[in-house]
Chains A and B, each alone.
Chain A
Amino acid sequence: MRCRDVQQFASAMVDGELDAATALEFERHVGMCEACRVRTESERLIKAELRRHLRGTRAPESLRRRIHDALGEAGGGVERPADGRAPPARREVPVRDLEAGMAARPRSRFAFVPYAVAAGLMLFFVFPRGWLGTRPITGASTARQASMGGPLFVSDVAGKHARSLPVEVNGPSPERVGHWFQGKVDFPVRPPVFSQVRADLVGGRISWVRDQPAAHLYYDFDGRRVSVLIFTPPRRRLPVDGIPGICVPGRTVYVGRSRGVNVAFVQHDKVAYALASDVPEQQVLGLAAGF
């Protein structure tokens, strides 16, 4: 193990996250290298200091009371559905002080769109296990995976976007469009509501991504057309082998390009979302990060 490795592994070492064999190599190096010993010790000290100074933070008593009152109110007003699913999204119960506290700053549209809140909430309960945590951020590909790899999906999605086919259901209501797909595809269709930019849902139609049934939604984004294809990915994993991944808050977005069309993939639960548009990559990325 080299000093550079030690430097890279020092955090994992002090957090107790190194496997036994690597930890042993680490210890062996640190035992012989004064510089690395000092650096590791420093890292350990800083971790201890943070814990020492931040650990004892206490919530104010007034907050405890506020939460008690708010829960009492919510418990009286929210029915729990018998089937155990999430209650329908609704306007937030006004939170005391929030309006005043945030009023001076620009607000995202997110806060005002109940459907967006519902879409955002999906993230809270979703652990795409096969994908999250085990997957390298840039899709490495074995020969077998490459044969079903990302570029094929990128070009297919780009092709679907390029053909301007008539919609079968009209927007702009995401609920109405989503409802229309019920019984037509075997996965829930929740049209994205974009929080950062104005993108209006034009409508949707039944489509295909490779050989998977898909909901094809069209959006009007500042006069430019954006496609969102929602489908169940093969083997429930995003087909992104060989496509670079970019980590944005709450998710990883994979971006590819074909025929002048930028295509971004994200996954919620077991459902894949492919966004395609001829707007610049950064904007497609922003759209994929912001619903």
Chain B
Amino acid sequence: MSDKESARDVSEFEAESTAHLDALYGLALRLTRRPTDAEDLVQEAYLRAFRFRDHYTPGTNLRAWMFKILTNLFINRYRRSMKETALLDGSDGDSIAEAALSRQSVRLLRDPEAHFEAPLFGEQVCKALERLPADFRAVVVLSDVEEFSYKEIAEIVGCPIGTVMSRLHRARRSLQRQLVEYAHEVGALAPGEERAPAEPTDLASYRARRGAGTS
């Protein structure tokens, strides 16, 4: 390959792929939790993508392909050397009486004029996310921030769709619990909102409905 062709090759690849740089850096930052590691991870992902660009079929989803490279690189190289202080509730779905954030609470939490001395809500959201294990952080970012479909996420992280769903489910439960706790601490939960009604109420109404033949 001549120097000229090679230069064109680089600039074509760069032009197409750097459109996703911010998003890739965003995921890298959530995964590594350190800006310097995130930068290294993104740079390496770009080098790999460039080196193996022949494996990419033009016209297919370049964004998903780049995310897959970055995620795999993180799993294979970085994660083993990272100390995880992850938090995830062990039980999954036993208790249905679950705390929940209401629209009103979120409004209160977001309100910059709120009277309570509290760090910004956005920071709390990020902190809650960072307390999850890396596999769970990855699916949350890919779904909520990047809006990939479950099928795409399954391909990016290399797991069955069922695993993606269960990780998302558990991750969100944990996020919810953390944020409700925070809202409770800073007094942003409206009275009577601490707990959503427990299951028996629902079961009764469900039975009543079933009895009435509406479901």
Contacts and interface: CB of A to CB of B under 8 A. Distances in A.
Interface in A11-61: 11-12, 15, 17, 28-29, 32-36, 38-39, 41-43, 45-47, 49-55, 57-60
B43 A49 contact: no
Nearest to B198: A35
Contacts of A43: 172, 176
B176 A250 contact: no
B141 A46 contact: no
Interface string A66-81: 1110111011101111
A170 interface: no
B126 A75 contact: no
B106 A58 contact: no
Contact of B168 (A7, A11, A71, A105): A11
A3 B144 contact: no
A57 B3 CA distance: 35
Contacts of A45: 101-103, 106
B39 A38 contact: no
B48 A3 contact: no
What's the interface size class on B, roughly? 35 or more
Nearest to B175: A46
B145 A50 contact: yes
Given A11-B168, A53-B126, A95-B44, A59 B160 contact: no
Interface string B35-68: 1110110111011101110110000000000001
Interface in B126-169: 126, 129, 135, 140-141, 143-145, 149-151, 154-155, 157-163, 165, 168-169
Contacts of B103: 41, 45
A247 B43 contact: no
B72 A133 contact: no
Contacts of A93: 47
Nearest to A17: B150
Contacts of A143: none
A67 B77 contact: no
A163 B35 CA distance: 52
Interface string B60-92: 000000001100100111111111000000000
A67 B44 CA distance: 9
B155 A33 contact: no
A135 interface: yes
A181 to B, nearest CB: 23
A75 B106 contact: no
Contacts of B1: 79-80
A4 B158 contact: no
A57 B25 contact: yes
Contacts of A59: 21-22, 24-25, 39, 42
B77 A110 contact: yes
A85 interface: yes
Nearest to B139: A11
B29 interface: yes
A52 to B, nearest CB: 7
- CB-CB nearest 6 A-B residue pairs: A75-B10, A57-B26, A59-B25, A42-B100, A53-B122, A3-B202
Interface of A: 1-4, 7-8, 10-12, 15, 17, 28-29, 32-36, 38-39, 41-43, 45-47, 49-55, 57-60, 62-64, 66-68, 70-72, 74-76, 78-81, 84-87, 92-93, 95-98, 101-102, 105-108, 110-111, 120-121, 123-125, 127, 132-137, 195-196, 247, 249-252
22 contacts: A2-B206, A11-B169, A42-B102, A55-B26, A57-B22, A60-B25, A60-B35, A66-B39, A67-B21, A70-B43, A72-B10, A86-B54, A95-B40, A96-B43, A101-B37, A108-B80, A121-B52, A124-B55, A195-B80, A247-B159, A247-B160, A252-B159
Given A63-B43, A250-B157, 6 more contacts: A2-B203, A4-B96, A60-B39, A67-B21, A68-B14, A195-B80
Interface of B: 1, 3, 6-7, 9-10, 13-14, 18, 21-26, 29-30, 34-37, 39-40, 42-44, 46-48, 50-52, 54-55, 68-69, 72, 75-83, 93, 96, 98, 100-103, 106, 121-122, 125-126, 129, 135, 140-141, 143-145, 149-151, 154-155, 157-163, 165, 168-169, 172, 175-176, 179, 196-199, 201-203, 205-206, 209, 215
